[in-house]
Chains A and B, each alone.
Chain A
Amino acid sequence: MEEEIIDDATEKSRPSELETLKAQCEEYLNGWKRAKADLANSKAEEGRRLTEFAKFVGEAVMKDLTAVLDSFALASAAIPETNEAKKGLLIIQAQLEEALKKHGLEKITANVGDDFDPSKHEAMALVDGEGKPPETIAQEIEKGYSLNGKVLKPARVIVTK
Chain B
Amino acid sequence: MAKIIGIDLGTTNSAVAVMEAGAPRVLENAEGNRTTPSIVATSKAGERLAGLLAKRQSITNPHNTIFSVKRLIGRKFTDPEVQADKQWLPYEIKAASTGGIEVRIGETWHTPEEISAMILSKLKADAEAKLGEPVTEAVITVPAYFDDSQRQATKNAGEIAGLKVMRIINEPTAAALAYGMNKKKNEKIVVYDLGGGTFDVSVLEVGDDTVEVKATGGDTHLGGDDFDKRIIEHLVLEYKKTDGIDISKDALALQRLKEAAERAKHELSTSTETEINLPYITSDASGPRHFVLKFSRAKLESLVGDFVTKSVELTLKTVKDAGFAVGDINEIVMVGGQTRMPAVVEAVKKAFGKDPHQGINPDEVVAIGAAVQAGILQGDVKDILLLDVTPLSLGLETLGGVSTRIIEKNTTVPTAKTQVFSTAADNQTSVEIHILQGEREMAADNKTLGRFTLDGIPNAPRGTPQVEVTFDIDANGIVSVSAKDKQSGKSQSVKIEASTNLSKEEIERLKADAVAHAEEDKKKKEFVDVKNQAEHAVYSAEKALKEHGDKVPAEVKTTITEKIESLKTAQNGTDAAAMKAALDALSSEIQKIGQQYGQGTTPPPAGETPPAEEPKPNEPETPAQ
Q: Name A's B-contacting residues (CB within 8 A).
A: 28, 30-32, 34-35, 38, 42, 56, 71, 74-75, 77-78, 116, 118-119, 121-126, 134-135, 141-142, 150-151, 154, 156, 159
CB pairs A–B below 8 angstroms (18 shown) = A28-B385, A31-B385, A34-B384, A35-B384, A35-B385, A35-B387, A74-B288, A75-B279, A116-B60, A118-B49, A122-B56, A123-B56, A126-B59, A135-B44, A135-B45, A142-B252, A150-B32, A159-B60
Q: In the complex the two chains form, what is the Cα distance from A34 to B383 in whole Å?
A: 8
Let me know if B57 and A32 touch, CB within 8 A.
no
Let me know if B56 and A78 touch, CB within 8 A.
no
Let me know if A118 and B279 touch, CB within 8 A.
no
Residue B21 is within 8 A (CB to CB) of chain A in the complex:
yes
A74-B279, A78-B280 given as contacts; is B58 within 8 A of A123 (CB)? yes
Let me know if A118 and B45 touch, CB within 8 A.
no
Residue B54 is within 8 A (CB to CB) of chain A in the complex:
yes
A42-B20, A78-B287, A78-B288 given as contacts; is B385 within 8 A of A123 (CB)? no
**Chain B residues, CB < 8 A from A34:** 383-385
Interface string of B7-33 (1 = CB under 8 A from A): 000000000000011000000000110
A78-B280, A118-B53, A119-B53 given as contacts; is B252 within 8 A of A141 (CB)? yes
Q: In the complex the two chains form, what is the Cα distance from A116 to B60 in whole Å?
A: 10
Query: Which are the 3 A-B pairs with shortest beta-carbon distances?
Result: A74-B280, A118-B57, A118-B53
Let me know if A123 and B44 touch, CB within 8 A.
no
Interface residues of B in 378-399 (CB under 8 A from A): 383-385, 387
Which residue of B44, B53, B252, B278 is within 8 Å of A124 (Cβ)?
B252
**Chain A residues, CB < 8 A from B84:** none
**Chain B residues, CB < 8 A from A119:** 53
Let me know if A123 and B54 touch, CB within 8 A.
no
Interface residues of B in 26-78 (CB under 8 A from A): 31-32, 43-45, 49, 53-54, 56-60
Residue B210 is within 8 A (CB to CB) of chain A in the complex:
no
Dominant secondary structure at the B interface: mixed
Q: Which residue of A lies closest to B260 (CB)?
A: A67
Q: In the complex the two chains form, what is the Cα distance from A136 to B550 in whole Å?
A: 92
CB distance from A125 to the nearest CB of B (A): 6
Please name 18 further chain A to chain B contacts, defined as beta carbons within 8 Å, in addition to the given A74-B279, A75-B279, sorted by A numbering.
A32-B385, A34-B384, A35-B384, A38-B384, A71-B278, A71-B279, A77-B280, A118-B54, A119-B53, A123-B59, A124-B59, A124-B251, A125-B251, A135-B45, A150-B31, A154-B56, A156-B255, A159-B59
Q: In the complex the two chains form, what is the Cα distance from A11 to B255 in whole Å?
A: 78
Let me know if A116 and B279 touch, CB within 8 A.
no
Q: In the complex the two chains form, what is the Cα distance from A122 to B32 in whole Å?
A: 17
Q: Which residue of A lies closest to B25 (CB)?
A: A45
Residue B87 is within 8 A (CB to CB) of chain A in the complex:
no
Q: In the complex the two chains form, what is the Cα distance from A146 to B384 in whole Å?
A: 40
Q: In the complex the two chains form, what is the Cα distance from A32 to B387 in whole Å?
A: 11
CB distance from A64 to the nearest CB of B (A): 9
A78-B280, A119-B53, A123-B59 given as contacts; is B44 within 8 A of A38 (CB)? no
Q: In the complex the two chains form, what is the Cα distance from A28 to B53 in whole Å?
A: 47
A71-B280, A151-B31 given as contacts; is B60 within 8 A of A135 (CB)? yes
Q: In the complex the two chains form, what is the Cα distance from A130 to B259 in whole Å?
A: 31
Let me know if A75 and B280 touch, CB within 8 A.
yes
Q: In the complex the two chains form, what is the Cα distance from A141 to B383 in whole Å?
A: 55
Residue B97 is within 8 A (CB to CB) of chain A in the complex:
no
Let me know if A31 and B58 touch, CB within 8 A.
no
Residue B283 is within 8 A (CB to CB) of chain A in the complex:
yes
Q: In the complex the two chains form, what is the Cα distance from A119 to B57 in whole Å?
A: 9
**Chain A residues, CB < 8 A from B44:** 134-135
Let me know if B21 and A42 touch, CB within 8 A.
yes
Which residue of A31, A78, A150 is within 8 Å of B283 (Cβ)?
A78
**Chain B residues, CB < 8 A from A159:** 59-60
**Chain B residues, CB < 8 A from A75:** 279-280, 288
**Chain B residues, CB < 8 A from A122:** 56-57
**Chain B residues, CB < 8 A from A71:** 278-280
**Chain B residues, CB < 8 A from A126:** 59-60
Interface residues of B in 261-293 (CB under 8 A from A): 278-280, 283, 287-288
